[in-house]
Structure 1
Amino acid sequence: MLRAGAAALQAGVYADAVPAVANVLRDHHANARLWQLLGLLHRNLEDLAPAVEAFAKAAELLPDDPMIAHARACVCFEAGLPAAHLFERALRLCPPDRSILLRHAAAQIAEGQSEAAVASIQQELLRSPTWIEGHAALARVRWTGGEHEEFTGSFEQALRAAPREVALWRAYIETLLNAQLHERVLVIVARARSAAGPHSSFDAAEAIAMSELGDVEVAGELFRRVAHVKDVKVVLYYLRFLLRAGHVREAADLAEKSAPNDRSHQIWPYLSIAWRLLGDPRWEWLEGDPRFIGVYDISETLPPLDALAERLRALHRTVRHPFDQSLRGGTQTEGHLFPRIDPEIRMLRKAVVEAVERHIAQLPPPQAGHPLLVQQRAPVRFSGSWSVRLTDGGRHVEHVHPAGWLSSALYVALPEVIASGPKEAGWLSLGEASELGIDLPPIRLVEPKPGRLVLFPSTMWHGTRPFEAGERLTVAFDVKRRG
């Protein structure tokens, strides 16, 4: 059964394997590996209440097993339960593993122990100054905690000890690019070249920064120098440059060549914009079918909105938005929301799954090569889920979600000013790309209402109109692309 269960995990047929493992456990109740397997199956089904129970039983039977200890800590953390103490035990039992240290830090932050989390990451960075993931995690924690000027301080400290370490410079620059601090990028690129010598990644970062700062002439020359760099991120920024500079035909040619082979699905949004600007009717094949966007009022299947709003507000623990996200003037919850076992969140997830299934059922049939109209559409799983809380003047800049297949906005609480203020304040805009400096009308504007869920392709540009005052509380998620 263990071998068959492992095969089921590998094949992704989790639901089929659960009853079989549960039946065997009736006669082998003291088999820790079977409990471990059952926990893994439930975890992969995003059904964490039974996963927590299964791993607790496995840990009771094999208390010193490192894999069980680590998995139990992860499942409890994902379920929204206290887990810092469980990660501490996993760290003692497991061979040195920095990924566990980072999860432990995340659990500490969730339990209000941010200073301890920062200290543990800093301590490991003192031992290993070139630990890139540690620097990135620490920068993110510091930024969302309110630090702006010094959030990259650990990079500076490490580079004083290892000034010729190209990987450190690259990670430092990427962090600043994600934070859209393009003037600081140029300063660090100059320092990187001086300390570590020339490198194509420094050239690419300079081109990106100059483009985002609006210096079209200089950016164009710099991008020509890095044309040989085969990195999808550089291609994306080059597409942004071409569109901003008005080289629409060139952007379309590059995107048409690149999109079919781009497994990250990040190029389609730029191809859509180019086709629309050129008047190419293929944009309608890509995004124009009205069935691609669904608006569903699901208040009746949601938990009471006041209770849901109260639960979500308690999960907004930072003071600033993540630097690599689209919101401005608000906060975003950390981690994956839907696996939590809070009653309100479980009811929320159930209502969302039902609405997503209804939306998928009305989509057009599969079409080869179309990023939305794929063959495999079930079961519904999520690659991410979170809550966003925007306040006075907050908004989302236009963006896309390459990690998803379908994306969303579910409105939980809205300020009165949206109803009484300027027309379209706080509305969701789909298909607009003003963030690129491009004047295209939206494909659709959707008025927010409490309990309203909007679903749309993850490759479609979307953002929100700003509003004057109050709180706009939403849930968002990405449906995982199957296959």
Structure 2
Amino acid sequence: MNSTIQFRPAGAATADSPDAAADAGLDALREGREAEVLPRLDRAAAAHPGHARLHQVIGLLRRELDQLKPALAAFERAAARAPADPRIAHGHARAALEAGLPSKPLFDHAASLAPRDGDVLLGRSAAQFADGGPEAALPDLEIILGANPGWLPGHALMARLRWLIGDREHFADSYKRALGTAPGDINLWRDLITTLTHADQFESALAAIAQGRISAGQHIVFDVNEAVCVAEMGDIATADRLFAKLGTIDDVTVAVRHIRHLLRAGRPDEAIALALPWTGRPEAAMVWPYLSIAWRLTDDPRWQWLEGDERLVRHFDLDELAPGLDALAERLRVLHNTSHQPLEQSVRGGTQTDGPLFRRIEPEIQALRAAIVRAVETYVDGLPPVDATHPFLGVPRDGPVRFAGSWSVRLQQQGHHSNHIHPQGWISSAFYVALPDAAERGADPAGWLQLGVPQTELGVDLPPTRVIEPKPGRLALFPSTMWHGTVPFDAGERLTVAFDVARGR
């Protein structure tokens, strides 16, 4: 979460003032022009070294560019000049956390200045997680939720942390305790049910829906989630009835769940009819993966237009990283400080790191990031021509490479990624750091990346459209809305880095 800044009223700064430079920096931050405006702010900071807000904005700009060393230095200067400013304190703590440096004392200071700021409290929990794993963050979070039972982001974090320590029975209990004091709170019911659904605990979600109707009365939240749960459990007839009863709801998540049901029911033509109107809307990335499935099932040539060009899926062997792969692997292993797979992710039989990996300042990770940026630029240069009607090829390509997320995954025996998509990204990836040897891995294609295979839960039998053999130092790149997953392997360790490249603005 970004540290926030109060914007000054119009006309409050003259054109050559440090506040005007800071305002220009905030405009650039909103518009993705950070690199363009930084020289002006650096000059202004040199001329006005005591201006805390200037240093704060420079820190935000550098952080957005994943330049955490200079971002942290800027926040340190800002904090030295305004030690009682809660926004500066939060930005300083956040930069230290993302850089991979100790940040708990900085979050403690920020929390002393803004004790009810939810973003600060979530950041403090992340710092505790970074220092000691999920167990270290749980006690303080339980105290905060006890005093603030309506704090929804806190409950979501509590459920994720408890899931990470292997609690499959009571991971969502904080919602239930809160509902004991506020049984009519529909937002608590919604988030409890959604959390159970994301964990594929559909029977428990249906039980919560039944209790919610008793406690809070009839509500569309219960009706929608009942249809979702029944559909995901494979009860076609009942799901048909419940979705029909809902009527038209202008919500893409509901539409996607209905589309999934239609595919599961073997009615791809109906799925296409429901999905197509969403393709012209901002939420279109959520439905394109399902249109791909439906078009393939109906032998519709539009699938070739969407995903058939071979230039959309490529791999690059980053030989320049080979000498440092062992050191990178050791660095990454230290960051895997949990023992169970995360909630709401595709990892099965492994762990995933927390926080934006590419913002860490360790030299091994920064060298990896630099090599990946170069490979992504090569990939983009080799794409087919711009097609404004295409959801992938129509994305602007003229800006710098930006990452919407970056992380590492460590899989063990029989580990794999379930088939999934990344609708918030533009380009997705897999970079192989360490792999089992051939004897451990099992017969090909054990451990391979496969693209185009739908999620198992949809019950749709389609073969992969592409496969990529993993090798240490190999980077695979492909559209984020393309289904992808991995084949389980017999034994050993599979250590990877993955990221999503953000859509151009």
TM-score, normalising length: structure 2: 0.93
Q: What does residue 153 of structure 1 align with?
A: 173
Q: How large is the Cα RMSD of the aligned pairs?
A: 1.6
Classify the secondary structure of the residue corresponding to 1:251: helix
Q: Distance between the aligned counterparts of 1:36 and 1:340, measured in 2?
A: 19
- Judged with a 3 Å threshold, the aligned counterparts in structure 2 of structure 1 residues 3 and 172 are, in CA distance, closer, same or farther, namely closer
Q: What does residue 264 of structure 2 align with?
A: 244
- Pick one of 237, 244, 250 that aligns with 1:224: 244
Question: 2:48 is matched by which residue type in structure 1?
Answer: H
Q: What does residue 470 of structure 1 align with?
A: 492
Question: 1:472 is matched by which residue type in structure 2?
Answer: R
Contact 2:436 2:494 (C-alpha < 8 Å) held by counterparts: yes
Moved more, 345-354 or 299-308: 299-308
CA deviation after TM superposition for structure 1 residue 303, in Å: 6.2
Does residue 1:127 correspond to 2:113, yes or no?
no
Q: Distance between the aligned counterparts of 1:95 and 1:328, measured in 2?
A: 37
Q: What does residue 52 of structure 1 align with?
A: 72
Q: Distance between the aligned counterparts of 2:163 and 2:49, measured in 1?
A: 47
CA deviation digits over 1:38-89, x for unaligned, max 9?
2122111111111111111111122222221111001111111111110110
Classify the secondary structure of the residue corresponding to 1:111: helix
Does residue 1:414 correspond to 2:435, yes or no?
yes
Classify the secondary structure of the residue corresponding to 2:132: coil
Classify the secondary structure of the residue corresponding to 2:384: coil
Q: What does residue 9 of structure 1 align with?
A: 29
Question: 1:415 is matched by which residue type in structure 2?
Answer: P
Question: 1:183 is matched by which residue type in structure 2?
Answer: E
Classify the secondary structure of the residue corresponding to 1:433: coil
Does residue 1:384 correspond to 2:384, yes or no?
no
Moved more, 112-121 or 469-478: 112-121
CA deviation digits over 1:430-478, x for unaligned, max 9?
0111512111111101111111100000010001111111111110000
Q: Distance between the aligned counterparts of 1:127 and 1:353, measured in 2?
A: 45
CA deviation after TM superposition for structure 1 residue 204, in Å: 1.6
- Judged with a 3 Å threshold, the aligned counterparts in structure 2 of structure 1 residues 58 and 472 are, in CA distance, closer, same or farther, namely same
Question: 1:454 is matched by which residue type in structure 2?
Answer: A
Question: 1:8 is matched by which residue type in structure 2?
Answer: A
Structure 1: which 5+ residue stretches go unaligned?
none
Classify the secondary structure of the residue corresponding to 2:423: coil
Question: 2:432 is matched by which residue type in structure 1?
Answer: Y
1:294-333 → structure 2 map (5 Å cutoff) = 294-301=314-321, 304-333=324-353
1:57-206 → structure 2 map (5 Å cutoff) = 57-94=77-114, 96-112=116-132, 114-115=134-135, 117-206=137-226
Q: What does residue 447 of structure 1 align with?
A: 469
CA deviation digits over 1:195-250, x for unaligned, max 9?
22222221221211111111111111111112332221111111111011111110
| Identity across matched positions, percent | 51
Paired residues, number? 483
CA deviation digits over 1:161-215, x for unaligned, max 9?
1222211111100001111111211111111112222222212212111111111
CA deviation digits over 1:233-290, x for unaligned, max 9?
1111111110111111100111112222143511000001101111110111100000
Contact 1:417 1:468 (C-alpha < 8 Å) held by counterparts: no
Structure 2: which 5+ residue stretches go unaligned?
1-20
Does residue 1:431 correspond to 2:452, yes or no?
yes
- Judged with a 3 Å threshold, the aligned counterparts in structure 2 of structure 1 residues 262 and 64 are, in CA distance, closer, same or farther, namely closer
Q: What does residue 395 of structure 1 align with?
A: 416
Question: 1:318 is matched by which residue type in structure 2?
Answer: T
Q: Distance between the aligned counterparts of 2:395 and 2:184, measured in 1?
A: 48
Classify the secondary structure of the residue corresponding to 1:265: helix
Contact 2:206 2:226 (C-alpha < 8 Å) held by counterparts: yes
CA deviation digits over 1:361-391, x for unaligned, max 9?
0111211221111251121100000001111
Contact 2:134 2:162 (C-alpha < 8 Å) held by counterparts: no
Classify the secondary structure of the residue corresponding to 1:440: coil
CA deviation digits over 1:7-44, x for unaligned, max 9?
32233211122222223333333332222222122111
